[in-house]
Structure 1
Amino acid sequence: MTVIALGVPMRLLLIRHGQTAANLAGALDTAAPGMPLTEAGHRQAGELVGVLRDERIGAVFVSPLTRARQTAEPLAAALGARPRVRTGLRELEAGVWECSTAPDDVSRYAAVASAWASGRPEVPMPGAGDGTEFLGRFDAVVAEAAACGAEVAALVTHGTAVRIWSAARAANVCLGFVLENEVPNTGVVVVEGTPVTGWRVLSWAGQEVGERTASALVLG
């Protein structure tokens, strides 16, 4: 396989896993192995194959958590690809708030994650790591995908991970935008660029994303 240089732009498909019972309960489910997909989640994973049928996907990377691996299975099978399991794609660990459904705990978790996206990666997640660790491990998988020889790589991961990495690394997406725009189950965020030149979000869960303006980032 010919390796594409890190300076040549490529597309990343950042895909959130399908529905789980924890999603329905609003629980912070971030520890391994995590909950499996619901029946609806399995349907969503199957439908993802059709959603991405026009993408020239050359590699599939996946979080080791159960829900992500189950989501990736139909896509990888349709492509005849072997999923590359990477711990760097795991969700932001909730630490002391793991499994909580309390609104205050969810808000505290979101506040720490938001600090990482806004340039303060040193803020710790109580009982877990910090933003330097999270961004470093996610960046490492992105760099591997950029160097693997594929024009398009699918990264099956988690909602908060996609939002925080995008806000921290994409030039045209800010924290306010990702706070206002969740990634639904099996939603796809399309990113283009390289680890050298940087990244730009092209679309967010099916909606085209425009350039950053003086006041806000606009959806096309």
Structure 2
Amino acid sequence: MRLLLVRHGQTPTNVDYLLDTAVPGPGLTELGAQQAAALPQALAGEDIEALYASTLVRTQLTAAPLAAARDLDVLVRDGIREISAGDLEMASGNSEHGEIYLRTVFAWAAGDVELRMPGGESGTEFLARYDAVVAEAAASGAGTVAMVSHGAAIRGWAATRADNVDVPFAAANRLANTGTVILEGSPADGWKALSWAGATVVPAGEGGPAGQPVAGAGG
């Protein structure tokens, strides 16, 4: 299966760089709506057969133009919502709290899945819910599936499940709004990331500093 993990469009709390993870969350900014409207063209080369979004409003608004363009229903699933910030909710992502949040996410990807977000979920719980939606999509028989999800969730899941994405790469390469990670594989056979926001995936030690893509890979 070809799996497209798409981050939602810009929200007001993205602009303020806040850890805003609770359901239902905010809608999109004007720029975010423009990003969503551009998604059908950006993914024009993908033969998408199923489209998922999380239970947060921003992913459903982002998915709507793509659903209309492809005549697809948006399958809303809680499992692909953002990683709950717990006690860190609405803290600044640029603060110590933001560092704790991301450090916890990438500790899960490094194998410490029993570690718990302060006041929130553990890595085991996050991976179980995300894996369940991916498994549902794989079982549907669809060849290409798009899931509109969230930045930390996509980076954390990809770093854990894709054989060629390591923690330094995922930590160094943030996803911009509507940035897409494309993977290929299955729950049984594992996953390989084909591209990360348009760039070739180059794990740490194989490319530029901190595992960033080599020059020219992203255009």
Query: TM-score range, shorter-chain basis?
Result: over 0.9
Q: Secondary structure at the match of 1:57?
A: coil
Corresponding residue number in structure 1 for 2:161: 169
Q: Secondary structure at the match of 1:208?
A: coil
Deviations for 1:106-146, whole angstroms, at most 9, x for unmatched residues?
11111111111110110011111100000000001111111
1:130 to 100, 110, 122: 122
Task: Report 1 or 2 for greater relative contact order, CA contacts < 8 Å, sequence distance ≥ 6.
Answer: 1
Corresponding residue number in structure 1 for 2:178: 186
2:64 to 47, 52, 73: 73
Cα distance in 2 for partners of 1:184, 1:82 equals 25
Change (3 A) 1:150 1:107: same
Matched, 1:87 2:87: no
Deviations for 1:170-202, whole angstroms, at most 9, x for unmatched residues?
000000001100011000100000101100000
Q: How does 1:24-63 map to 2 (within 5 A)?
A: 24-63=15-54
CA root-mean-square deviation: 1.3
* Contact 2:168/2:204, CA 8 A, preserved across alignment: no
Offset of residue 208 of structure 1: 1.9
* Contact 2:86/2:120, CA 8 A, preserved across alignment: yes
Cα distance in 2 for partners of 1:114, 1:207 equals 21
Q: Secondary structure at the match of 1:12?
A: strand
Cα distance in 2 for partners of 1:97, 1:213 equals 29
Offset of residue 218 of structure 1: 6.3
Offset of residue 18 of structure 1: 0.2
Corresponding residue number in structure 2 for 1:99: 90
Corresponding residue number in structure 2 for 1:117: 109
Cα distance in 2 for partners of 1:74, 1:46 equals 6
- Please give the TM-score of this superposition, normalised by the length of structure 1: 0.92
Runs of at least 5 residues in structure 1 that lack an aligned partner in the other structure: 1-9
Matched, 1:196 2:158: no
Deviations for 1:33-79, whole angstroms, at most 9, x for unmatched residues?
11110000000000011000110000001101011010000001111
The number of equivalent residue pairs is 210
Structure 1 segments of 4+ aligned residues over 4 angstroms from their partners:
212-218
Q: Secondary structure at the match of 2:25?
A: coil
Percent of paired sites with the same residue? 48
Offset of residue 94 of structure 1: 0.2
Task: Pick the structure with more strand per residue.
Answer: 1
Runs of at least 5 residues in structure 2 that lack an aligned partner in the other structure: none
* Contact 2:9/2:36, CA 8 A, preserved across alignment: yes
Q: Secondary structure at the match of 2:66?
A: helix
